[in-house]
Chain A
């Protein structure tokens, strides 16, 4: 609802195509002597229907950027938008609604509630919202991730890869405008990781999903359309149609940048 954007014709066009956007987004911890800048003033846009990866060494602010853009954390400066909604202006209740109705999440670990079955975990956001599930879409998602024969299992009865697939199905089930994936392959072995990435790729290509993924694995980033590189809380580089080698090369440069050790993000 930003008037600055809506005032120009290009703004209208932008709003239609951009799934998420940050304008001067910043996050500062502490004050005075102990002041630490996790995120400088970051400007970035994620296009609808795209698969973007955010890369950077630990402490670069990549998770902070994602958390602030997904409404999980509050920024200390600038604006973040999901579609046309400025999430930096929303209260907790509205943010919760937004996460529930418009965003999907896949985390590195502990994605599922241990007391619920796989199917119940998949339908959980809809159930919390009190929505009736779209059966046909749910079936399609379940088949896409290949969970048909595991629906009645509890998370403890599933492998790590299967658990992440359930998380993936959960994120897809609500047909969100955008899925944020935080190191989704971080806890998986390479085969399960590759499978997971293939699912994400297919959901972009076949189901027209938009995905923003934080990773530190160049091979994972290579599945994306576009890779953003973060260092010391700022976007320092970008790569389109990446290959694993190209990503690895850029990362090497980043890590050898002078003063690359600053940052407070875990």
Chain B
């Protein structure tokens, strides 16, 4: 039997090629994702282990703030320079260095154009000192040695065309200093994608920290043979409380953990898309084996008649699937390596240099690749194999190419039951939108159940929907239209599976487009209803605006009010919150109040405002105490004084809180202004706009936005995410198109005699091509209709579930939906090119001479 399977596999290798490609693509996506995340992981672990000092001492903080917020609350925590002397004399220590490292600076060139990463990653400002574990070295020129000298990292220098000797300006919250580039620095391990500006130590202290006698950290080099942990213990004892002491291993582990948790999100997202690709691929394989088995019914019947039992028939088909799965997995694994290499290069172009480590292929990767590739293929081949074995031998011998078509009733009952479960889950999800976790679970169940229902009901839907769609064909395309419609519904199971593959990808596109459009209109609506100020002023990258900016703007003629917003970094129950303080006197003019309970006046009395979702999730009411923990370890318990609508996007995990500036100052005295809301005197808006631009000309890191610019910036981020999503879904659609090509190609082979007969009685080649094309278009449009229908239902429900995240308005992007639908016609036409060509070139005699 094995020999028969092998022969059959080789005989059908052309017909199996597309299925193999689908397996390979799915596997490549899975393997590529795993290799990429392992590689990034290894690169950063290597980076941290090779560049961390033996022991690092920092001011003790209650928690580690999220990276993008590090500069938000004001200047970084420092320790006195004298601390270096307190540890440098300890036994076992070779050297102790004071370190200055901040990320709240902006570098611009002589034309005020920004120098540094364009990806939104920060530019680090550090002092340069010799070390046994340097994170960077001077690659060109020399190290900065005096005020007015800096070294710039290689990537930023290359991108901005900066050379040694060029003038630059460094902008910090405390001011702007002219600098001259004296050297170019290169990262010793890998550039994690950040920009870097190096100063000599005294300059770094005055320019970056504003004080000559402080550092942000102290690094210790242990003497050879001395254990890092022992040094750390000694330092901790010598310094007492108020300092965090960590060894190289601790640093690497915590940095790697931080990177990993960020990477996990990406990895899971990519694996999610890989799962979609695998699912879509399964449809393709299922169809291929169904058709191959159908074509071999007679052969399998003969085997049965000669004494092979059912299990042997099943095994012979599965053996073929196994070969396909192995082949597809091998190719896919290689493809995955290529994919990971490609993405690594793309990331490199964005500034993150991963070339220090070669691609890391952990033992798990090939295992996962083969499990996925072979598992999927076997699972997809199982159904047709079992069906083939069920055929009675004589029936198989009698019926040439037509397999048995069992009644669709059981399918209808099962599918409708699933659809009912799905509908109930979706309705529940919409009804429970106040409690996000429950609603999200119900939404998940609903999505899976409705998807399964659509798959199970596929053949029945194919018969009705395709039949209905095709009704327009006969009047338009005559007898050929009539025939193509009949062909599309003659095997509803096959048409259903082919369209099903397309359905999955397009359902996700549909749902994503509904969510994105709704988010977009919600943001627009929120901006329109809350944006009372004429201009919003902020610095990029979560940095405060320079200290003198507020006074400068207040002095401009025509400015009515300037409302300040400052931030403090705080945790609540282990989650970081968004905690800001505002000018309570003028905030209501700048931002239309969205209070559901309480008012701005209540904040002046020392209470805090909480967003509706957090309040609902934690049962907070007016007067409920909220305990916050700040970076320095102090805690504050404040009463809830107001409840407002949740901002679009939902804010931080711990919730969004607002207090008065006075309250904030009690816990974060050093906080600086982050956002300024400017209102103008009547009729002065345009003039003030011009004044603002003139006044802030020397500070290019500051953005002045009016209502439309503010809206565009917010919605622009949505568009970016959406485009990324569409790009990933395109893969699933490509596999689905392969499926359509595959089904049509096999159908054409299966219908050799029909096509020959049609040609014999006078059908032109062009008409044959049209016949296949129209069938293809029918299948594609059918898949698109189902997919977009499902996607609309998912998107509408998802929108309702996310009401708490501020997506308050439902918008269905009909233009997008119709474009996708029209695009499906093109997909159908494209998929039919090859099969239609083959059909039109078929030899007429094959048909009439075959017996």
- Which residues of A pack against B, CB within 8 Å? 63, 67, 72-73, 92-93, 96-97, 99-101, 105, 107-116, 120, 124-125, 127-130, 170, 182, 266
Contact = CB atoms under 8 A, between A and B. Distances in A.
A29 to B, nearest CB: 12
Given A128-B762, A130-B478, A170-B761, A115 B849 contact: no
B761 A100 contact: yes
B845 A72 contact: yes
A73 B845 CA distance: 7
B767 interface: yes
B486 A115 contact: yes
Contacts of A109: 851
A130 B479 CA distance: 8
17 contacts: A73-B845, A96-B763, A96-B764, A105-B760, A105-B848, A110-B847, A111-B757, A113-B483, A114-B490, A115-B483, A124-B761, A125-B762, A127-B478, A127-B479, A128-B480, A128-B761, A170-B761
A124 B759 contact: no
Contact of A128 (B754, B767, B847, B848): B767
Contact of B490 (A101, A115, A129, A266): A115
Contact of B761 (A73, A99, A110, A120): A99
A128 B486 contact: no
A231 B765 CA distance: 34
A73 B844 CA distance: 8
Interface of B: 478-480, 482-483, 486-487, 490, 753-754, 757-765, 767, 844-845, 847-851
A110 B751 CA distance: 11
B759 A96 contact: yes
B398 to A, nearest CB: 12
Contacts of B762: 96-97, 99-101, 125, 128-129
B764 A124 contact: no
In the A-B complex, the 9 residue pairs with the closest CB atoms: A100-B762, A127-B479, A115-B486, A99-B762, A96-B764, A125-B761, A110-B753, A128-B479, A107-B848
Contacts of A128: 478-480, 758, 761-763, 767
Contacts of A93: 764-765
A114 B754 contact: yes
A65 to B, nearest CB: 13
Contacts of A130: 478-479
A120 B761 CA distance: 14
Contact of A182 (B753, B765, B848): B848
Nearest to B766: A93
A217 B478 CA distance: 40
Given A73-B845, A124-B479, A107 B490 contact: no
A109 B847 CA distance: 10
Nearest to B486: A115
Nearest to B850: A110
B478 A113 contact: no
A67 B847 CA distance: 12
B770 to A, nearest CB: 11
A105 B761 contact: yes
B845 A67 contact: yes
Contacts of B764: 93, 96-97
A96 B764 CA distance: 6
Contacts of A127: 478-479, 482
B760 A99 contact: yes
B490 A100 contact: no
Contacts of A170: 761
Nearest to B474: A127
B487 A115 contact: yes
A175 to B, nearest CB: 14
A107 B754 CA distance: 12
Contacts of A116: 482-483, 486
Contacts of B758: 113, 128
Given A72-B844, A93-B764, A266 B849 contact: yes
B761 to A, nearest CB: 5
Nearest to A112: B757
B760 A72 contact: yes
A266 B851 CA distance: 10
B488 to A, nearest CB: 10
B763 A100 contact: yes
A107 B757 contact: yes
B762 to A, nearest CB: 2
B754 A113 contact: yes
Contacts of B845: 67, 72-73
Contacts of B847: 110
Contacts of B759: 96
Nearest to A100: B762
Given A100-B762, A105-B848, A128-B758, 8 more contacts: A73-B844, A110-B757, A110-B850, A115-B490, A127-B478, A128-B478, A130-B478, A182-B848
Nearest to B848: A107
A125 B762 CA distance: 7
A25 B73 CA distance: 97
Contacts of A100: 761-763
Contacts of A72: 760, 844-845, 848
A92 B480 CA distance: 19
Nearest to A73: B845
B478 A63 contact: no
A61 to B, nearest CB: 13
Nearest to A127: B479
A156 to B, nearest CB: 8
A83 B754 CA distance: 28
A177 B419 CA distance: 58
B752 to A, nearest CB: 10
A116 B485 CA distance: 11
A92 B767 CA distance: 13
Contacts of B761: 99-100, 105, 124-125, 128, 170
A166 to B, nearest CB: 13
A88 to B, nearest CB: 16
A109 B559 CA distance: 92
A266 B849 CA distance: 8
B532 to A, nearest CB: 67
Nearest to B764: A96
Contacts of B760: 72, 99, 105, 107
Contacts of B487: 115
Contacts of A124: 479, 761
A94 B849 CA distance: 22
Nearest to A72: B844
Nearest to B765: A92
Contacts of B844: 72-73
A237 B767 CA distance: 42
Contacts of A115: 483, 486-487, 490
Nearest to B849: A266
B577 to A, nearest CB: 66
Contacts of B757: 107, 110-113
Nearest to A63: B849
A62 to B, nearest CB: 12
A109 B754 CA distance: 11
A125 B844 CA distance: 16
Contacts of B483: 113, 115-116
Nearest to A97: B762
A56 B490 CA distance: 40
Q: Which of A100, A107, A109, A129 neighbours the largest number of chain B CB atoms within 10 Å of its CB?
A: A107
The listed residue with most B CB atoms (<10 A of its CB), out of A67, A93, A115, is: A115
A122 to B, nearest CB: 11
Contacts of B486: 115-116
B851 A108 contact: yes
Contacts of A266: 849
B475 to A, nearest CB: 12
Contacts of A67: 845, 848
A130 B474 CA distance: 11
Of residues B478, B758, B762, B845, which shows the largest number of chain A Cβ atoms within 10 Å of its Cβ? B762
B843 to A, nearest CB: 9
Contacts of B490: 114-115
A115 B775 CA distance: 13
